[in-house]
Chains A and B, each alone.
Chain A
């Protein structure tokens, strides 16, 4: 690791405290060699309205997704993007964003697919930085380009595809969408544009744990005991489990993936980024409606 970790006591109980930094830590370390701050938001213009001094913007649609195929950018594209953003392979990257770091966690997950070693989240994200009255600038950062190596994405460890999920049935699944999406109440209403999913409900046996349950009122992650109560006691996850999390397109479930992997220390958690927009339109995959998880169908 290039930049020292944040040893704040509120992080030490987590499985991987080195994955979080506090706003205090970031304010102290801004501008340090080896540190690159990345803002990643739902809103593509939020960075332009003001951002942490020196932060570069990475947008999930326009930077991380392939414009043609429903996939992420490839190794060459990632190398080009990170070089442009002034990130080296050994840089400490701290990502923050809006909406409880929802998109920041998504960016972190994509960085992890490429094996970028030291990538952390700013606990509390934009909202906490702002609530504390910390400074923003509207000056777009112009980092010196680096020479990030071309590293191919590894989709085997952290990412699940539809066929992987079918094979996975019988193992724990976490549906992190809203209760209405889970139960299948929410379909498209009259006069609404079709979002592209043909069926409503959830994957059989999936536990419903809306992603934002992991977040406290001030936008920071809840302490370990509360997270354990939600995911271990509530959703029944156990050490050693193979776990797949999903949502609509894999963004909210990246956030849950982060919680399960880096805060709770589960070792085999994959994010199914195809999520409901794929499953809910796929032919002949099993679906359960209603508030109960439902049984795994016989194969």
Chain B
């Protein structure tokens, strides 16, 4: 396993889980993630205008970030995402980030390496072009976190 003391535990676990599998099983795990993407909280489901579309993803995916009140290292980040059931890959990418970033502080989210999506061992099973969609999701999440915490 790749050792990286900086990477938050949940993200590291997800990465290690993927890397422990054969290529075709990695797709299956991504499918499981896609099925675990939580429904949007009602306040966002009723307000599509609050969601931001991530254009780089081949299929439409919308995200919204909110940040709890300040604590050590900044408030806690909550990522919400939605994508249609016809886009399971995109849903899987979003679900990985929703689960991997859960409970992290602003600083921890901003410190997640931008190349995290490339470390999951999915480039062969999914293709590098598609992985870019996940990199874009991570980039958008960080940007919203920055915007929402700018004094």
Contacts and interface: CB of A to CB of B under 8 A. Distances in A.
Interface of A: 42-46, 48-49, 59, 61-62, 65, 67, 98, 189, 191-193, 195
Contacts of B90: 43
Nearest to B90: A43
A191 B147 CA distance: 13
Contact of B27 (A45, A67, A189): A45
A73 B27 CA distance: 22
Interface string B73-97: 0000000000001111110100000
Contacts of B127: 44, 59, 61-62, 65
Contacts of B139: 191, 193
Nearest to A62: B127
Given A44-B127, A45-B88, A192 B136 contact: yes
Max chain A Cβ within 10 angstroms of own Cβ: one of B58, B130, B136, B139: B130
Contacts of A49: 31, 34, 85, 88
Nearest to A67: B124
A191 B58 CA distance: 17
A98 B85 CA distance: 12
A62 B124 CA distance: 7
A49 B35 CA distance: 10
Interface of B: 27-28, 30-31, 34, 55-56, 58-59, 85-90, 92, 124-127, 129-130, 132, 135-136, 139-140, 143
B88 A43 contact: yes
B143 A45 contact: no
Contacts of A59: 127
Given A62-B124, A192-B56, A44 B28 contact: no
Kindly list the 3 A-B residue pairs having the minimum CB-CB distance in the complex, ordered from nearest. A61-B127, A45-B88, A45-B89
Given A44-B27, A45-B30, A49-B85, A193 B56 contact: yes
Contacts of A67: 124
Given A45-B89, A193-B139, 14 more contacts: A44-B125, A44-B126, A44-B130, A45-B30, A45-B88, A46-B86, A46-B88, A48-B27, A49-B31, A62-B127, A65-B127, A189-B55, A191-B139, A192-B55
Contacts of A65: 127
